[in-house]
């Protein structure tokens, strides 16, 4: 397990800004209204707020699906999917330390946009959360391509190193696996 390093306060400010931009860009891309977006129940947490079982070594984020239940449902028949995007501070900060071209805001913007696309696709039944390993790899490629499509119009050169970092995921799958 990687050493657990947490975002500092100033870094959390940039992470929060990136989350806000990622949400706006993703909603706009899928033409999802604010009221419609509320149906996609999710939360985004950083390492400080994660349970031990939500912490992983390696990935920059993971989505965990929980089953939510409405409180005013005495029979327990009204349940829904609740997704938790678990940002892995330690992995993100390690990648930034190893690649001086990456910048926190744009790296997190890419990561969160990517995870939000997954949630939209799960909600629209375009992808099964419980897919096979092979299908998960193909889905990752599709989502990386969509993430690039959404973010390529961000007019800031700081996004380019992030695109380069993930370039292989936009290549044909036989080059990845």
- Encode pLDDT of 59-73 as tens digits: 999 999 997 766 666
- Encode pLDDT of 23-33 as tens digits: 999 999 988 87
- Encode pLDDT of 158-173 as tens digits: 899 999 999 887 776 5
Least confident of 25-39, 85-99, 108-122, 146-160: 25-39
What are 1's two structure tokens? 């397990």
| % residues pLDDT > 90 (the chain) | 57
Residue/partner pairs of 153-156 with CB below 8 Å, 24 or more apart:
154/25, 154/106, 154/109, 156/106
User: Residue 11 has what pLDDT?
Assistant: 97
Sign of CA dihedral 134, 139, 140, 145: positive
Query: Cβ–Cβ contacts within 10 Å for residue 65, how many?
Result: 14
């Amino acid at each position: 397990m990687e050493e657990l390093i947490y975002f500092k306060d100033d870094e959390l400010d940039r992470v929060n800004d990136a989350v806000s931009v990622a949400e706006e860009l993703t909603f706009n891309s899928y033409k999802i209204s604010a009221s419609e977006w509320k149906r996609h129940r999710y939360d985004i947490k950083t390492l400080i707020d994660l349970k031990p079982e939500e912490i992983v070594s390696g990935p920059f984020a993971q989505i965990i699906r929980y089953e939510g239940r409405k409180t005013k449902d005495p029979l327990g028949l009204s349940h829904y999917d609740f997704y938790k995007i678990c940002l892995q501070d330690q992995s993100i900060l390690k990648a930034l330390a190893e690649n001086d071209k990456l910048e926190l805001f744009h790296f997190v913007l890419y990561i969160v946009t990517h995870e939000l696309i997954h949630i939209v696709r799960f909600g629209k039944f375009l992808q099964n959360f419980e897919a096979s390993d092979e299908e998960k790899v193909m889905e990752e490629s599709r989502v990386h391509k969509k993430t690039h499509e959404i973010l390529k119009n961000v007019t800031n050169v700081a996004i380019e190193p992030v695109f380069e970092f993930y370039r292989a995921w936009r290549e044909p799958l036989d080059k990845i696996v």
